[in-house]
């Protein structure tokens, strides 16, 4: 995603700083290889928040074996949806959420965009809390100072943009592989393996919980996955883009969550509330502990940068929609990035010690509002418009997509409502969760129902209402 000056354009070397934001990436500026998507999502998921999320499967009552199986199934389901979104990046040369204007209208797209901003600021805040602890240990400063320093680093990387983020993913992959190899060797001793092997008791509610945890993790990436694939050449095979994202995010996340499951099972109550300390304690000396702290920080830098960059793109899409603009000046771009990162940092600074757990419940509840967005976006791309989009009209409220697409908004609302009876969350208890033994499978019901409804309504509307309107290539 970096717009940079090329030798053919200006006779200068490529700039590392990105200048484009939500505007279309011309074919002459496309570059890169799908493998960079693999390293980005693999390295970005080798980090402490994924470890803690996986650990919840055991902390909340699951065993080791079936938790790992459930987590893996959830990874596959969620990552498949995520990777289908990633294919849209090279096809259209656009960030993910601006494409929602085709389904919701130029102004109507603000509905999922606002929720995206809230969710990613929240994820960034949680990452800032954990990374701030590690940064404080490394630099010998207070936790608040560690969070502020960490946030400053995120601002710099997010401003630099696409090229630096992808390079960061490659470094994160190398550091993550070395660190996780050490951690697994440290924790998988013969004695621990015997204890883990004995921790096997199938529970359907806990099994479904594990599936929901990992699938929700992957679906949370959907609103910005194309942000990191839109600079790829348009002729990159869709299968390669899908495979790079799918295998990168599945393997990286499953490795982290597996470590979390094992750590939580061995540590018991000592793990919750001391996640960073326990993982660092696997180092057999002070120097190795410091190295692990540094690795935790680096992993969180990659992950939090993705969230900060995604929230900036969502905010930019909201503002430019009402201003009828397709670009942002460098100064405005920097201002948006600073605003979103600062907001995350402030939330982290003023949060209580149990903030991460409480906010995780809130963010998982918010996913109920992203599942129907994902279903509508993919149903439109693969079944209704069949991969065609009027890109100029995305920036024009008077164009073919209009200001408000009431059809898309109505289907979206129906997708949210159909999930409510099946949501099981500390913030909301659905009336029909007893059907699935008190488990939350709302995301699956919501996605399937919304996709089917939009495909039917969208196809009818296209055949009878928009028949005379051809999509420009």
Closest of 116, 131, 149, 93 to residue 308, by C-alpha:
116
What angle in degrees, to the nearest 10, is found between the helix axes of 238-267 and 190-197? Answer: 100
The radius of gyration of the chain's CA atoms, rounded to the nearest angstrom, is: 22
pLDDT of 83 strictly over 90: yes
Give the model's confidence band at 75: pLDDT under 50 very low, under 70 low, under 90 confident, else very high: very high
Q: What is the pLDDT of residues 375-392, one digit of tens each?
A: 999 999 999 988 888 988
3-class state of residue 229 by DSSP: coil
Closest of 116, 468, 441 to residue 310, by C-alpha:
116
Give the model's confidence band at 472: pLDDT under 50 very low, under 70 low, under 90 confident, else very high: very low
Give the model's confidence band at 336: pLDDT under 50 very low, under 70 low, under 90 confident, else very high: confident
State the Cα–Cα distance between residues 338 and 341, nearest whole angstrom.
Answer: 5
3-class state of residue 429 by DSSP: strand
Cβ-contact 228, 239 below 8 angstroms: no
Cβ-contact 283, 73 below 8 angstroms: no
Q: What is the pLDDT of residues 40-50, one digit of tens each?
A: 999 989 988 88
Per-residue three-class SS string for 1-45: CCCCCCHHHHCCCCCCCCCCCCCCCCHHHCCCCCHHHHHHHHHHH
State the Cα–Cα distance between residues 213 and 65, nearest whole angstrom.
Answer: 16
Place of tokens 């059907």: 435
Give the model's confidence band at 56: pLDDT under 50 very low, under 70 low, under 90 confident, else very high: confident
Burial of 82 from C-beta contacts in 10 A (0-12 / 13-18 / 19+): buried
pLDDT of 354 strictly over 70: no
State the Cα–Cα distance between residues 135 and 390, nearest whole angstrom.
Answer: 46
Tokens of 370: 């992203």
* All structural domains of the chain: 7-367 (1.10.4160.10)
Taking CA atoms, 297 is separated from 131, 161, 185, 378, in Å, by 5, 19, 21, 34
Which whole number is the average pLDDT over 401-407? 91
Give the model's confidence band at 273: pLDDT under 50 very low, under 70 low, under 90 confident, else very high: confident
Tokens of 170: 């490659």
pLDDT of 165 strictly over 50: yes
Given CA atoms 355, 217, 261, 43 in this order, what sign does their dihedral have? negative
Quote the DSSP letter at residue 381.
Answer: I
State the Cα–Cα distance between residues 411 and 153, nearest whole angstrom.
Answer: 40
Q: Which of 33-47, 143-157, 196-210 has the lowest mean pLDDT?
A: 196-210
State the Cα–Cα distance between residues 129 and 2, nearest whole angstrom.
Answer: 29
State the Cα–Cα distance between residues 453 and 445, nearest whole angstrom.
Answer: 12
- Locate all alpha helices (DSSP H) within 350-424, ordered by sequence: 355-366, 371-379, 406-419
pLDDT of 98 strictly over 80: yes
Angle at 430 between CA 60 and CA 58, to 5 degrees: 10
How many other CB atoms are there within 10 angstroms of residue 199's CB atom? 17
Higher local confidence (pLDDT), 272 or 396: 396
- Locate all alpha helices (DSSP H) within 99-161, ordered by sequence: 101-104, 110-139, 143-160
Give the model's confidence band at 256: pLDDT under 50 very low, under 70 low, under 90 confident, else very high: very high
Percent of the chain with pLDDT over 70: 91
pLDDT at position 49 is 84
Give the model's confidence band at 244: pLDDT under 50 very low, under 70 low, under 90 confident, else very high: very high
Q: Which of 117-121, 226-230, 435-439, 446-450 has the lowest mean pLDDT?
A: 435-439
- Buried/exposed code over 362-379 (b: 16+ C-beta within 10 A; e: otherwise): ebbbbbbbbbbbbbbbbb
Round the average pLDDT of the chain to a whole number and report it: 85
The top-scoring range by mean pLDDT among 29-43, 153-167, 283-297 is 29-43
| Alpha-carbon 144 to chain mean position | 25
pLDDT at position 462 is 67
Closest of 232, 212, 246, 215 to residue 85, by C-alpha:
246
State the Cα–Cα distance between residues 340 and 292, nearest whole angstrom.
Answer: 28
Place of tokens 């939330």: 347
pLDDT at position 160 is 86
């Amino acid at each position: 995603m970096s717009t940079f000056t090329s030798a053919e354009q200006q006779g200068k070397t490529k700039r590392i700083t990105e200048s484009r934001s939500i505007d279309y990436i011309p074919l002459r500026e496309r570059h890169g290889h799908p493998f960079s998507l693999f390293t980005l999502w693999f390295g970005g998921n080798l980090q402490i928040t994924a470890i803690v999320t996986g650990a919840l499967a055991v902390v909340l009552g699951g065993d080791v074996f079936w938790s790992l199986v459930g987590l893996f199934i959830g990874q596959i389901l969620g990552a498949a949806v995520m990777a289908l979104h990633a294919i849209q990046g090279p096809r259209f040369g656009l960030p993910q959420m601006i494409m929602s204007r085709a389904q919701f209208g130029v102004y109507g797209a603000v509905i999922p965009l606002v929720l995206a901003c809230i969710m990613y600021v929240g994820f960034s805040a949680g990452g800032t809390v954990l990374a701030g602890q590690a940064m404080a240990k490394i630099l010998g400063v207070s936790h608040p100072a560690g969070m502020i320093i960490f946030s400053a680093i995120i601002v710099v990387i997010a401003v630099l943009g696409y090229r630096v983020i992808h390079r960061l993913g490659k470094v994160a992959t190398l550091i993550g592989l070395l660190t996780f190899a050490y951690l697994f060797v440290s924790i998988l001793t013969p004695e621990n393996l015997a204890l883990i092997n004995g921790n096997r008791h199938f529970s359907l509610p806990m099994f479904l919980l594990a599936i929901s945890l990992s699938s929700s993790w992957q679906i949370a990436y959907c609103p910005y996955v194309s942000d990191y694939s839109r600079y790829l050449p348009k002729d990159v095979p869709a299968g390669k883009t899908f495979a790079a994202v799918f295998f990168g995010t599945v393997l990286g996340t499953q490795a982290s969550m597996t470590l979390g499951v094992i750590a939580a099972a061995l540590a018991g109550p000592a793990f919750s509330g001391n996640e960073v300390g326990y993982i660092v304690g696997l180092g057999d000396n002070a120097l190795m502990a410091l190295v692990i702290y540094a690795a935790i920080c680096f992993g969180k830098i990659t992950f939090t940068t993705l969230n900060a960059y995604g929230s900036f793109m969502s905010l930019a899409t909201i503002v430019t929609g009402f201003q009828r603009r397709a670009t942002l000046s460098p100064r405005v771009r920097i201002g948006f990035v600073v605003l979103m990162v600062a907001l995350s940092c402030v939330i982290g600074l003023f949060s209580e010690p149990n903030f991460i757990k409480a906010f995780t419940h809130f963010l998982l509840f918010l996913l109920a509002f992203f599942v129907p967005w994902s279903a509508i976006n993919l149903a439109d791309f693969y079944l209704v418009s069949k991969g065609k989009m009027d890109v100029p009209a995305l920036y024009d409220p008077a164009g073919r997509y209009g200001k408000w697409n009431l059809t898309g908004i109505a289907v979206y609302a129906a997708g949210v409502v159909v999930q409510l009876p099946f949501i099981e969350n500390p913030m909301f208890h659905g009336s029909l969760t007893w059907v699935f033994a008190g488990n939350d499978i709302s995301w699956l019901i919501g996605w399937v129902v919304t996709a089917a409804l939009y495909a039917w309504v969208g196809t009818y509307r296209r055949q009878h209402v928009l028949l005379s309107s051809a999509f420009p290539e």
